[in-house]
Amino acid sequence: MRTVRDAAFDVLRRQGMTTLFGNPGSTEVPLLTGLPDDLRFVLALHEGSVVGAATGWALARGEPALALLHTTAGLGNAVGALATARENRAPLVALVGQQDRRHLVQEPFLTGRLAGLAGDYPVRRETPPRAQDVPGALARAAHAARLERGPALVLVPMDDWAAPAEELPLPAPDRLRPALAADPEAVRDVADLLADATAPALVVGAGCDAPDTWGALTALVERLRCPVWQEAFGARAGFPQHHPSFAGHLPSDRSLLREVLAPYDLVLSVGAPVLRQYAYRPGPLAPPGTRLALVTDDPAEAVRAPVEYAALAPLPQFCAALAAQVPQRAPHSAPDAADRAGARAAPGDAWKPDGDGALEAAEVLAALAARIPADAVVLEETPSSRPELHALLPARRPSGFLSAAMGGLGFALPAAVGVRMGAPARPVVAVAGDGSALYQVQALWTAAHYGVGVLVVVLANGRYAVLDQLAGQHGGGGGAWPAFPEVSLAGLATALGCPARRVTGRAALLRELDEALPKLAERTAPLLLEVEVSQAR
């Protein structure tokens, strides 16, 4: 007898979701016992790591990844990571186990009240009304994850897998191809805005992080001869950051933002929100005389944008068409704009080879920058050192920089594992603070067990440095939280089976990086370097 489980596996094969990330409980055992040889199960030791690794896999491949979650406890543990997947626009299908359908009405032990547990973060959620509807629900979830680039949930009672499947017409398309043409009228509108501008600038964001979009944007920028800024708190790089037209990262403070945008009479955001803020400051986003426009493929981003014109379009096709329409123009100079934003620095500027005392975080990043391969993927989770990382480690390839768009911690380590598994030819480096690394340190076990050759560089200062900095900005005095210098990330990594070393001083750092980085693409085992850095950062 062909079962619902058999039919569901066929859907997973057709949708390319043959790697299953999970941390199973009893409600998933009927699905996973005797898994077919062509389906691969990857165990993570916490649901945040499950979804984090699946998110990395999806971002690396541009296709939906599958995460298995265990009823209320599993989905509840994963909600923060699902929120990050949504904000990072990662296509993800989360299959959530539920108690046996036949006695759900009595609310037996492990019954989950699951429908609203993840809030508004899923792009779709479905509880199939019958067991026979489960395969179709999985196909619909995969399509929704692709089209809306976020997590789609399917909630499945555990007895459904053994139910007989029905041979019915396909409940969802096997393949769904979205429209990929750019509206010629919208292209003309934006071209007219650019033609009217004397000093335009572009702001790019995570929506542009793909090879074809980078190529089209580069062609457009080289005709416009204008500066390109990265959105503030961008989770992905929207443009090659070593390009001569790259100006830097926008500040998230509104008054500084107006200062940076003052030289421009038109700011066109492409694949980025207009304009991302952090702490509230009064006043307009842009200075008087600066017009704002947006091109995006995200309807939600379009409808909330405070702009005079917004176009909803597939970005590579729109940018290519726009580049073909705009005339070649002379370059516009915006004096000192990049300097004011702290846009770039040479690695040598931060490195003090003859300095005394503990390493500064910037010195560690400079040493890494001088050795890292151009095609490496850098995953960032070091809030207090992020400006230095941006300045010293520009993204030189699509997907060269990844971070958590939600701002929550626990992304970098599991996502690094998923990225390397999804794109095994690319070197992968996660840079995390010690406080950040603790959130999903369990991901190191998955890396070690499955032979995932990621390098994890932990900037260890034994405290929450960014919170200490924020406390200083709010009237001075220390925060209520203590430091934690006794925590050993290298010790935790070793306990999880991951090779690790504590690094103190410049000579030891250079020795470890010179050993690890030239062979990073070939590594088949993870390595964690816990680098002692100054308490000042």
pLDDT tens-digit series, residues 100-122:
999 988 898 888 999 899 999 99
pLDDT over 60 at 417, yes or no: yes
Domain ranges of the chain: 4-162, 184-331, 347-532
Res 473: pLDDT: 67
Residue 80 tokens read as 């923060």
CB 68 within 8 A of CB 127: no
Res 480: pLDDT: 72
pLDDT over 50 at 374, yes or no: yes
pLDDT over 90 at 363, yes or no: yes
pLDDT confidence of 355, banded at 50, 70, 90?
A: low
Average the pLDDT over 320-333 and give the result: 85
- Tell me which CATH code domain 4-162 carries: 3.40.50.970
* CATH match of 184-331 with 3.40.50.1220: yes
* Amino acid at residue number 387: P
pLDDT single digits (tens) 164-208: 998 766 677 777 877 788 999 999 999 999 999 999 999 999 999
Domains 4-162 and 347-532 share a fold: yes
Global model pTM greater than 0.85: yes
Average the pLDDT over 15-37 and give the result: 95
The enclosing H or E element of 431 equals strand 428-433
pLDDT over 90 at 319, yes or no: yes
- 403 closest CA partner among 44, 83, 47, 88: 88
Residues 76-103: b if buried by 16+ CB within 10 A, e if exposed: bbbbbbbbbbbbbbbbbbbbbbbbebee
Res 357: pLDDT: 65
Least confident of 89-103, 453-467, 490-504: 453-467
CB 203 within 8 A of CB 334: no
Percentage of the chain with pLDDT > 70?
91
Helices (H), 159-298: 184-196, 211-224, 254-261
- 77 closest CA partner among 449, 423, 440: 440
Res 358: pLDDT: 80
Q: Which residue has the higher pLDDT, 329 or 21?
A: 21
pLDDT over 70 at 90, yes or no: yes
* CATH match of 347-532 with 3.40.50.970: yes
pLDDT over 50 at 317, yes or no: yes
